[in-house]
Each structure stands twice: as C-alpha cells, then as structure tokens.
C-alpha cells in the first residue's frame, strides 16, 4: 500500500493529524502504566495523567477504558504477531531441522524482545481480554505451517495438515512462552534441540 505523498486531494482535517498523534500518545501512556503500575492499577485517571491530558479527553479518542487497554494490547500483539509470522515466513522456503531450529530461535527472540509486556499480558491480564488476538495469531501461524506442509507432500506422517498444524502450534506456543517467562534451567541451545526433536519426531514418524 503505497502512501500518497504530496497528494493533491483535499487533506484530511488537521484535527485528524492531532487525533492520530493523540491516540498514539494515549496508547503509549497506557502501555507505560501497564508496565509500571500493573494491570490492577490501569485506571483511566492514571493513563490520562501519564499522557499528560485530562481524563475527559480520553473519551475523545476512545469510547471507554476497555478500548484503551485493547489498543495497548493490540499494539503489542500486532508487534509480536508480525515478528512471529515474519520469522516463519522468512524461513518457509527452507527445509528440515535447520529451518525448525532457526524458526524456534526467532520465535524466542520475538517473545523475549518485550518480556515485561509479555509477562503482563500472559500473567496479569485475564486471558479473555486477549483471546481473540491470540486466536488470530495462532490461526495465522497455523496457516503458514499448513502451507509449509502442503509444499512438502510425502514427508509427513499424516496428511491431515490442519490437525498437524494445530498440534504443532499449540505445543510450540506454550513451550516458547513459558521458556521465555519462567526461564527454566535449560540453555537456549538445548531448548532449540528439544524443539527440533519434538517437531521432527512428530512430523516424520513412519
């Protein structure tokens, strides 16, 4: 989607500019509050304070508190989703254990990039407030995995790629998230070895 630069079309109201900037400011403030003060202290007053605006002004940009929090998480989720999907897409052409390992590695990197926010999202937020986004990401990744599988007929144990992808995604998701959050006494290399073993064993079994 190429951006119109120097468009001759009548520019959107200048307020739009301000709006956009203010929305960003509020989201950033919300993120800050979430990280600094935690989920329970995420109040509209605090967010407004952090954003340096009046509580009333929040309602010019968001219909209610939930929408602000949703936007904050959206922002983060989109970021993670893009990193994760990116990690996968980049390596979709590759093949075999090396591809799995590299992907898993990128996955851990993606989650570790914002551990603090990840922890808040996974541990502090009720999962429900993130369910849709999480499902969407899982779905997206599943489709990429299915594409990968479809491109390599005969190399997998099962031809039910939907199921295979579902299993892989669910298993790997929890593994990486918990690896990043809980920091078990497992080196990164060992962890990657195990992920590779898990995936190849599952996929390739006779």
Partner DNA sequence: TATGAATGAGATTTCATTCAT
Partner DNA sequence: CATGAATGAAATCTCATTCAT
- Which residues have C-beta within 8 Å of that of residue 21, sequence separation ≥ 6? none
- Which residues have C-beta within 8 Å of that of residue 82, sequence separation ≥ 6? none
**Per the structure block, which two tokens stand in for 191?**
């962890």
Q: Within 133-172, which residues bind DNA (CB under 7 A)?
A: none
d(CA 112, CA 84): 12
Query: Smallest distance from the beta carbon of 21 to DNA, in angstroms?
Result: 8
Q: Does 8 bind its own copies (CB under 8 A)?
A: yes
Q: Within 23-42, which residues bind DNA (CB under 7 A)?
A: 40-42
- Which residues have C-beta within 8 Å of that of residue 184, sequence separation ≥ 6? 178
d(CA 100, CA 196): 6
Q: What is the DSSP letter of 129?
A: G
Query: Smallest distance from the beta carbon of 192 to DNA, in angstroms?
Result: 42
Of 18-26, 77-85, 108-116, 123-131, the window that binds its own copies (rule: CB under 8 A) is: 123-131
| Through-space distance between the first and last CA atoms of the chain, rounded to whole angstroms | 45
Query: Smallest distance from the beta carbon of 167 to its own copies, in angstroms?
Result: 5
Q: Does 39 bind its own copies (CB under 8 A)?
A: yes
The residue within the footprint of its own copies, chosen from 16, 21, 36, 116 (CB under 8 A), is 36
**Chain residues that interact with its own copies, rule: CB under 8 A:** 1-6, 8, 11, 36-41, 45-46, 49, 122-128, 131, 135, 157-158, 160, 162-164, 166-167, 170-175, 178-179, 182, 184-186, 190, 194-195, 197-198, 200-205
């Amino acid at each position: 989607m190429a951006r119109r630069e120097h468009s001759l079309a009548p520019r959107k109201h200048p307020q739009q500019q301000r709006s956009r900037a203010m929305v960003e400011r509020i989201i950033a403030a919300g993120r800050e509050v979430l990280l600094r003060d935690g989920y329970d202290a995420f109040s509209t007053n605090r967010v407004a304070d952090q954003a340096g605006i009046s509580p009333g002004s929040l309602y010019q940009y968001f219909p209610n508190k939930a929408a602000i929090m949703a936007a904050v998480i959206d922002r983060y989720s989109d970021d993670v989703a893009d990193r994760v999907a990116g990690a996968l897409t980049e390596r979709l052409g590759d093949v075999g254990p090396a591809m799995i390992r590299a992907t898993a590695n990128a996955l851990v990197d993606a989650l570790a990039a914002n551990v603090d926010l990840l922890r808040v999202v996974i541990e502090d937020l009720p999962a429900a407030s993130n369910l849709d986004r999480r499902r969407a990401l899982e779905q997206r990744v599943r489709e990429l995995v299915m594409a990968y599988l479809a491109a390599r007929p005969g190399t997998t144990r099962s031809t039910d790629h939907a199921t295979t992808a579902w299993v892989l995604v669910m298993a790997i998701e929890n593994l990486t998230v918990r690896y990043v959050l809980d920091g078990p006494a497992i080196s990164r290399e060992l962890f990657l070895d195990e992920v590779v073993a898990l995936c190849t064993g599952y996929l390739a079994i006779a």
